[in-house]
């Protein structure tokens, strides 16, 4: 692929267009190297994943809140019911809370991946050789 100083990258996640990212060079006559193009494509892909994860997280959060509201209603109805029904309702609450925690973890992992792709994060210092003096 011939890279020019102006390059457009589409951020797609599972065949759904999420957005676009443009990269401009300071020297119009100079082309981007293939490693620069690959890095920009990787950043566009990670940004698309982060946006998609944020959307999914919001949907899961909404569903978890809805489930908790239903569970609160069920608790008031089942206050006079037997122990088995109460335990099943409690299990449903724990499952909804687990789904919410997993969605939060997924969102945070996507944020960390994007941060690292943009050059952030801790790196091991290079070894300068033996230190015995």
Inside any domain, residue 22: yes
Inside any domain, residue 112: yes
Instruction: Note the pLDDT tens digit of each residue in 90-127.
Output: 899 899 999 889 888 988 888 888 887 777 766 666 67
Which pTM value belongs to this model? 0.45
Inside any domain, residue 78: yes
Q: CB under 8 Å to 121, separation ≥6 — which residues? A: 115
The strand pairing partners of 106, in sequence order, are: none
Q: Which domain holds residue 107?
A: 6-117
Instruction: Note the pLDDT tens digit of each residue in 14-45.
Output: 456 777 778 888 887 788 888 888 888 888 88
- When divided into structural domains, the chain yields a total of 1
Inside any domain, residue 132: no
Q: How many CA atoms lie within 13 A of 129 on its CB side?
A: 1
d(CA 71, CA 84): 15
Indicate the pairing of strand 6-13 with strand 16-24. Answer: antiparallel
């Amino acid at each position: 692929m011939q890279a020019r100083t102006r390059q457009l990258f589409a951020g797609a996640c599972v065949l759904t267009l999420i957005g676009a990212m443009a990269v401009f060079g300071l020297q119009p006559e100079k082309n981007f190297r293939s490693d620069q193009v690959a890095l920009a494509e990787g950043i566009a892909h990670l940004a698309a994943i982060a946006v998609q994860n944020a959307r999914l997280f919001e949907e899961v959060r909404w569903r978890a809140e809805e489930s908790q509201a239903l569970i609160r209603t069920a608790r008031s109805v089942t206050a006079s019911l037997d122990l088995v029904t109460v335990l099943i309702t409690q299990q449903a609450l724990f499952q909804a809370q687990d789904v919410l925690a997993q969605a939060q973890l997924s969102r945070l992992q996507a944020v960390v991946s994007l941060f690292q792709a943009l050059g952030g994060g801790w790196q091991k210092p290079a070894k300068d050789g033996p230190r015995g003096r």
